Structure 1
Amino acid sequence: MPQETRVTVAATKEYHPVPLPDYVELPVEEMRRRAQAFYDEIRTRHTVRDFSSRSVPRDIIETCIRAAGTAPNGANHQPWHFAVIGDPAVKRRIREAAEVEERAFYEGRAGEEWLQALAPLGTDAEKAFLEEAPWLICVFGERRSRSADGVRRKNYYVPESVSIATGFLIAALHHAGLATLTHTPNPMSFLNELCGRDPHDKPYILMVVGYPKEGATIPAHAMEKKPLEEIATFL
């Protein structure tokens, strides 16, 4: 996101700086240790499609969402909403609606090139995990939302902000010991009604959360990661 120019506008909050509250500089070796430790942990995150129905305490999900809510975002408007679904009846309706879209996708909407790209992952139109996992989290982007003092306002950099927050959420859930799947049926507008959200909100991700089922597998193709020199350029 570009550097924002600080402008004081009538009827808006004025710029008011406060000291950086909690940054602690670390010795370089400790930085290296932490960077390596995080990489070693996050590289064990895998997209799971075989979920156990074992329950996960709600407070763990709440804490992970709080972590996602700390993500950087446009104008600090925090243009996201996390609709958390644990009700089996709602999960059932979501699965039914998602599979309608998935069948259309696999039966022609996707196109041959896209289907060929998905073939090594072994995916299909059946989405049993939407009912089996204890929690679904639908991540919405809000084009407009209310501030803490109740003023309705336009939001900025919504896709970028929601994407960063989703990354935070995935990392937090993995750090807590849970498995995740980012599911994106297309179109996803049925989620607005099922989650009771404003029709102008945009659903970005339907995240499946829980424990892996005993004997769960992942596709070998998912283990193929590009090396550093293919994903980064140092100038």
Structure 2
Amino acid sequence: MMESIDNISIKGYTHIPYHTDTCTVEESVVKSNSFYEWLDTRRSVREFSDRPVPRELIENLIKSASTAPSGAHKQPWTFCAVSNPIVKTQIRKGAEIEEKENYEKRMSERWKKDLEPFDTDMNKPFLEEAPWLIVVFKKAYEYDDKGNKHNNYYVNESIGIACGMLISAIHNAGLVTLTHTPSPMNFLGKVLGRSSNERAFMLLPVGYAKQPTFVPGLKRKELDEVAVFYE
């Protein structure tokens, strides 16, 4: 029997053993299909219940998102969780100012036509109705203890992966969300008092779905429309 190794050193850095549950090929196929079918039930929801969501639950969601891979493991993100009703009102006001500009001046007629199935407009009541708002900021660079600036790597890719994992974690907890990206989002940094190296990337209202809630009966693309296999 081989001795278990606690850790090894590579170029002076500690590496620890990686452990995972082993599965047969058949078990892996079943698990992957079950995961797909569960994830396929996720929908973007704009109507939220007033049912409270404990802070501990939000903390767990953020910790899950922060397990995402990132360029050189710099973890270039900050998750700002907001439940304060005054701050949520400030965020809604700022978002609706930008959305008004979008709908009246910036967005093409085709874009607005494509949004019709979602029954959305410049008014964003969910920003006050959802128990929590999670505003995700990306860090383009960091400062060390001496005040020296250091760029992060693959920031957009890293933060995008983290947001995808956050959305999955929200769904796993029986909560709902939608991705909201009022553009530009500079007002979010001002409202939340973030530093100059943090830029708002995405805003996610989080809570339980209002009952009953109806969502567009959309059809996702089939596998052969989104994947190409080279075997």
Question: Is the TM value for this pair above 0.5?
Answer: yes
Aligned length: 220
Match of 1:178 among 163, 168, 175: 175
1:232 aligned residue:
227
State the shift of 1:144 in Å. Answer: 1.3
1:106 aligned residue:
103
Answer yes or no: is the 8 Å Cα contact 1:77–1:147 preserved in 2: no
Gaps of 5+ in 2: 1-9
Q: Closer, same or farther in 2 for the Cα pair 1:147/1:137, shift >3 Å?
A: farther
2:7 aligned residue:
none
**SS of the residue aligned with 1:20?**
coil
**SS of the residue aligned with 2:102?**
helix
Question: In 2, Cα distance between the equivalents of 1:214 and 1:81?
Answer: 32
Q: Closer, same or farther in 2 for the Cα pair 1:15/1:112, shift >3 Å?
A: farther
1:124-139 equivalences in 2 (<5 Å): 124-139=121-136
139-148 or 29-38: which moved more?
Answer: 139-148
1:4 aligned residue:
none
Question: In 2, Cα distance between the equivalents of 1:31 and 1:152?
Answer: 45
2:88 aligned residue:
91
**SS of the residue aligned with 1:52?**
coil
State the shift of 1:176 in Å. Answer: 0.8
Identity value in percent: 45
Question: In 2, Cα distance between the equivalents of 1:162 and 1:147?
Answer: 21
1:38-93 per-residue CA deviation (whole Å, 9 max, x = no partner) reads 11111111000111121101111111111111101101000011011000000000
- RMSD between aligned alpha carbons? 1.9
Given the two structures, how large is their TM-score scaled by the length of structure 2? 0.90
Given the two structures, how large is their TM-score scaled by the length of structure 1? 0.88
Answer yes or no: is the 8 Å Cα contact 1:79–1:141 preserved in 2: yes
Answer yes or no: is the 8 Å Cα contact 2:142–2:197 preserved in 1: no
1:28 aligned residue:
25
Flag as ranges the 4+ runs of structure 1 deviating above 4 A: none
- Does residue 209 (structure 1) correspond to residue 206 (structure 2)? The answer is yes
- Does residue 195 (structure 1) correspond to residue 203 (structure 2)? The answer is no
Question: In 1, Cα distance between the equivalents of 2:47 and 2:79?
Answer: 23
Answer yes or no: is the 8 Å Cα contact 2:89–2:128 preserved in 1: yes
Q: 1:65 is matched by which residue type in structure 2?
A: I
Question: In 2, Cα distance between the equivalents of 1:180 and 1:40?
Answer: 19
- Does residue 57 (structure 1) correspond to residue 63 (structure 2)? The answer is no
Q: 1:154 is matched by which residue type in structure 2?
A: N
**SS of the residue aligned with 1:83?**
strand
Answer yes or no: is the 8 Å Cα contact 1:193–1:199 preserved in 2: no
**SS of the residue aligned with 2:48?**
coil
Match of 2:112 among 87, 111, 115: 115
